[in-house]
């Protein structure tokens, strides 16, 4: 893989003097454009000046499209007296105000081109990491592009195209549907739910003998705590690397895993709205931003109006013409990287600072992944915001803000049943609807709260096998 990277970088450098831009992909039909695929494979190794040029060309197309076809941006630009010709450089993007999730949730149809039929689009839903699940739509071409960026990130992390992947999913029920590449035998993937009993997960891992494991940092901790010595040795024997995602990867978790399995841990940063935005790669420090498909800004300071805080990650999706998000404040925070070495020339984030969730701890010491808990709330109609409080070893208090201040009885019964199954009936659940759930806008919204460390039930994972 490293030799391929060097060759791609050399070819990119040779094009600096003679490149006229004629070979740049212009078609949005990603699925059927070989030139576009070639572009995305070469993009990580292009010199910075070429990456900036590609970004600017694509942003001009995007802003022109938004001005002509997207009601929200047409109004926003008219209010500020802006036209597409005003955006002459990437610095001019700051003339557009930062977009917040609340604006998207208030009028989602205003972000779609006039006359769009949603039944032909791909629907994405955020996990509710800010406490407010949000619905997004995209074209199938953009969905394919997101999948390609994920595959490219894996390749850059040293994963081989034929390596067996094991994905431990934060979902109660997972489906092992095969995409086109899997049906062609290009690579193999097995999906397992972390909601399964730990004693059932481990044998599945041992039988599958994965080369790569993809999971959340919190379940990586659980894996490190729960595996017996010989089990860890057997898994490590064929393992090439571990990829974490969806949560903050703390240094102690990385160090434990790398020591136990003897392989590198690479962390990916992504969002439901954009797919994978940045990833740690083989031979490069920090998180390499996928700059060919996203414009990423790291706020250098807080604004007086509170719309942006220092270190906020603000993202513009350059290829989502169906539901464009320009200068979208993710609510996450990152530390900038001064510079980086390695074959990948994309700019970097030094580390991700936001997105940290708490576990629910059962009376017997078992830790429950927060994504399993909050996943139950995603499909509740009319949900505005929610919070889960663990007040004691055997009691959960759940407060829900609903549109119309009404929580249907059948939905409440369903939620109680799901939580009862998850906690094995060991916890009492108090569910209540409140008119409003306020939170401090200067901090990351937390879905799950537990009492101070001294009141927590367990100091660590208890192996119940």
Q: What is the CATH number of the domain that holds 365?
A: 3.30.300.30
Average pLDDT over residues 373-385: 78
Positive or negative, the CA dihedral 244, 245, 249, 253 is negative
In this structure, is residue 55 part of a structural domain? Answer: yes
Contacts of 36 (CB under 8 A, 6+ apart): 25, 27, 30
Kindly tell me if the per-residue pLDDT of 462 is higher than 70: no
More confident residue, 460 or 41: 41
Query: 179 and 310 share a domain?
Result: yes
DSSP letters spanning 167-184: EEESSSS------HHHHT
pTM value is 0.72
Judge if 400 and 340 occupy the same domain: no
Statement to judge: residues 261 and 221 lie in one domain: yes
Total number of domains in the chain:
2
175 and 265 in one domain? yes
Same domain, 150 and 259: yes
Query: CB atoms < 10 A from the CB of 364, how many?
Result: 12
Q: Are residues 40 and 108 in the same domain?
A: yes
**Smallest Cα–Cα separation from 443: which of 358, 356, 378?**
356
Say yes or no: 236 and 385 in one domain. Answer: no
**All residues at 6 or more sequence positions from 100 whose CB lies less than 8 Å from its CB, including other chains:** 307, 329
Picking from 338, 354, 370, the residue at the C-terminal end of a domain is 354
In a domain, 128, yes or no: yes
Virtual torsion, Cα 46, 50, 51, 57, nearest 10 deg:
-140
Percent of the chain with pLDDT over 70: 77
Whether residue 460 lies inside any domain: the answer is no
Residue 350: is its pLDDT beyond 60? yes
329 and 221 share a domain?
yes
| Average pLDDT of the segment spanning 19-35 | 48
DSSP class per residue in 313-368: EEEEESS--SS--SSEEEEEEEEE-S---SS--S-EEEEE-----PPEE-TTS-EE
The answer to the question of residue 464 being in a domain is no
Eight-state DSSP code of residue 129: T
Answer yes or no: do 312 and 365 share one domain: no
Residue 55 burial (CB count, 10 A): 19
- pLDDT score of 5 more than 80: no
Q: Domain containing 8 — which CATH number? A: 3.40.50.12780
Give the structural domain span for 402.
360-455
Task: Kindly state whether residue 309 falls inside one of the protein's structural domains.
Answer: yes
Handedness of CA 108, 122, 333, 296 (dihedral sign): negative
Where among 337, 354, 371 does a domain terminate? 354
| 348 and 372 inside one domain | no
pLDDT score of 181? 62
Residue 280 lies inside a defined structural domain of this protein: yes
Classify 152 as helix, strand or coil.
helix
CB 116 within 8 A of CB 321: no
- Final residue belonging to a domain, choices 321, 354, 387: 354
Q: Which residue has the higher pLDDT, 355 or 18?
A: 355
User: Cα(258)–Cα(265) distance, rounded to whole angstroms?
Assistant: 7
């Amino acid at each position: 893989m490293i030799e391929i990277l060097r060759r791609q970088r050399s070819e990119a450098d040779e094009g600096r003097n003679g490149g006229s831009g004629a070979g740049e992909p212009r078609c949005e039909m990603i699925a059927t454009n070989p030139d576009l695929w070639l572009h995305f494979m070469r993009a990580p190794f292009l010199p910075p000046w070429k990456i900036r040029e590609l970004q600017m060309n694509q942003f001009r197309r995007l802003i022109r499209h938004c001005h002509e076809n997207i009601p929200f941006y047409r109004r926003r630009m008219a209010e500020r007296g802006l036209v597409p010709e005003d955006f002459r450089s990437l610095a001019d993007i700051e003339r557009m105000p930062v977009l917040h999730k609340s604006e998207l949730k208030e009028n989602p149809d205003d972000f779609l081109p006039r006359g769009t039929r949603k039944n032909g689009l791909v629907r994405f839903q955020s996990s509710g990491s800010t406490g407010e699940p949000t619905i997004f739509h995209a074209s199938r071409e953009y969905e394919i592009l997101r999948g390609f960026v994920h595959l490219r990130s894996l390749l850059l992390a040293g994963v081989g195209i034929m390596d067996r992947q094991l994905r431990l999913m934060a979902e109660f029920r997972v489906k092992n549907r095969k995409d086109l590449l899997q049906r062609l035998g290009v690579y193999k993937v097995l999906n397992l739910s972390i909601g399964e009993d730990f004693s059932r997960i481990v044998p599945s891992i041992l039988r599958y003998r994965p080369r790569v494991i993809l999971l959340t940092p919190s379940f990586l901790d659980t894996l490190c705590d729960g595996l017996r010595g010989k089990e860890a040795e057997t898994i490590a024997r064929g393992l090439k690397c571990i990829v974490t995602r969806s949560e903050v990867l703390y240094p102690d978790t990385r160090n434990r895993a790398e020591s136990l399995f003897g392989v590198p841990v690479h962390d990916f940063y992504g969002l439901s709205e954009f797919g994978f935005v940045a990833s740690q790669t083989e031979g490069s420090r920090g998180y390499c931003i996928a700059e060919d498909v996203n414009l990423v800004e790291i706020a250098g300071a807080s604004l007086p109006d509170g719309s942006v805080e220092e270190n906020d990650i603000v993202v513009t999706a350059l290829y989502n013409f169906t539901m464009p998000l320009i200068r979208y404040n993710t609510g996450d925070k990152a530390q900038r990287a001064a510079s980086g070495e390695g074959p990948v020339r994309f700019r970097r984030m030094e580390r991700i600072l936001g997105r940290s969730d708490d576990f629910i701890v059962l009376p017997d010491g078992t830790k429950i992944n927060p994504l399993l808990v909050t996943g139950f709330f995603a499909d509740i109609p009319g949900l505005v915001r929610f919070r889960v409080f663990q007040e004691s070893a055997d009691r959960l208090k759940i407060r829900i803000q609903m549109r119309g201040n009404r929580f249907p009885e059948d939905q409440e019964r369903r939620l109680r049943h799901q939580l009862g199954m998850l906690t094995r009936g060991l916890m009492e659940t108090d569910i209540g609807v409140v008119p409003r759930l306020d939170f401090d806008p200067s901090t990351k919204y937390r879905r799950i709260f537990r009492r101070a460390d001294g009141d927590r039930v367990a100091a660590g994972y208890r192996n119940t096998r």
